[in-house]
Amino acid sequence: MEDATTWIIALVSGAAAVAGPIAAGHALLTKREPQVAGAWIAICLIFPLAGATVYYLFGINRVRTRARKLVAEERIPPGHGPWHRHTSPTISPEYAEQVRISDAVSGRKLEGGNRLQVLHNGEEAYPAMLQAIDAAQERVFLSTYIFETNATGRRFIRALTAAQRRGVDVRVLIDGFGEIYSWPRASTLLKRTEVPVARFLPPRLMPPQVSINLRNHRKILVTDGRLAFTGGMNIGDRHLVESTHPHPVADMHFSFDGPVARQIEEVFLEDWAFTTGADHTLPSLARRHTDGALCRIIADGPNEDLDRLIMTLIGALSAAREEVWVVSPYFLPTRPLMTALEAAALRGVAVRVLLPEQSNLTFVDWATRHILGELVHWGVQVYYQPAPFAHTKLFVIDRRYAQVGSANMDPRSLRLNFELNAEIYNRPLAEQLAADCADICARSRCVTEAELEQRGAFERVRDAAAWLASPYM
């Protein structure tokens, strides 16, 4: 018995002696952020066996290698790297600086002739989306992070099932972690009606797959390759703000009719191929209108080497001359983004950040409060929106340029999640979104530096501790 115990102790000690340094070395060589690399190295060396196990489950990015087998060189055509521009359509000089940046990093062309519609909350978005599914004749592609199975979710399931039964190519992609928000799962109900459905990186024990940090946060609906919807809205009753739901969520969604619908469809097909292994090329059916906006899609995620969203946001901030609107439910910008916001404010740009008074993630609110003092001190104006919880994501520059989509301004969206934003180079649409932001601001309260300084010692420590964990939120 003593010999067996001695052998077990020796084996565990040997495994720890090998696993800890190996895991620490892997983190050193593969992590892009020194803070993240340093944290993993410390965990693996202080707790060699447990730390290496946790790192194996949560710290290794298995997505990038797998994705590259399906999407060669991040969709950038030969000769179009960070040093080479796409050939964009004729643009106004006011957009030239931003277009140069986005051309270089986006991997997609700037397309004209797109008609857009702003859809407020589920009351406007869901009827339009369901109508598009009902009218589809060839294909319906839907991807969402959360697909609830309450009354709203059941309406979508019925519409998708009806489309499938009349011969439409229907495919539904649901995030493997986001789908557990409701029971029964939407994927289960869809399979019962024989609608093709796939789960994106679902957690499983055998073989181990616990990719909690790598989520598909994109919201995509494309019908017949022509009409696309994207934004921040999931599928569920909570987005019906005029309903009796106990925790309503306000949000915006957007419809795109034009060439950019094809770009959105391409992102869906890439995700579908990544998840199922079924890689299909479909003809483009998108229509280019004689009127409409210049748009392009920026897809970002842990499968890419470039921080595309961060680069384009910083580029837009550097080009701002008059005003910046940032609307986000979760606000934990990276240090480069914070610096860009502060620099814009210091050179006289009116930088306004609109946040919910209280989000659904209290610890994120704590972490956010820790950084607001610095931003306010350097002239960034921060406002808290009253209930209901505002899940809207908007980024508007000088009433001429906007980004809309699924990405929040936090490390999870900007580093870990698969996200999709749309760039909009169109003054009328940007003016409409800026007016929406101004309306939100008018009913919100300004956060002052004095208010933040009046926090007690416990609140300051709590907020700072939450901020310390922000790279993993």
Domain boundaries, the chain: 2-60, 68-80+113-292, 308-472
Fold assignment, 68-80+113-292: Endonuclease; Chain A (3.30.870)
Q: Can you give the pTM of this predicted structure? A: 0.86
Across the chain, which has 473 residues, the per-10-residue mean pLDDT values are: 55 58 73 69 75 68 49 42 48 84 89 96 98 98 97 98 98 93 93 96 69 85 98 97 93 98 96 90 90 94 79 94 97 95 98 96 95 97 96 97 96 88 96 97 96 95 89 63
Q: Same fold for the domain at 68-80+113-292 and the one at 308-472? A: yes
pLDDT for res 84: 41
| Mean pLDDT over the full length of the chain | 87
pLDDT for res 472: 61
User: b/e per residue, 107-131, with b = 16+ CB within 10 A?
Assistant: bbbbbbbbebebbebbeebbeebbe
pLDDT for res 14: 55
Q: How far apart are CA 429 and CA 398, in angstroms?
A: 12
pLDDT for res 194: 95
275: its two tokens: 């998840």
Rg (CA), the chain: 23
User: CATH assignment of 308-472?
Assistant: 3.30.870.10
pLDDT for res 75: 46
Burial of residue 281, with CB atoms counted within 10 A of its CB: 0-12 exposed, 13-18 middle, 19 or more buried: exposed
| β partners of residue 352 | 325, 381
419: its two tokens: 């996200």
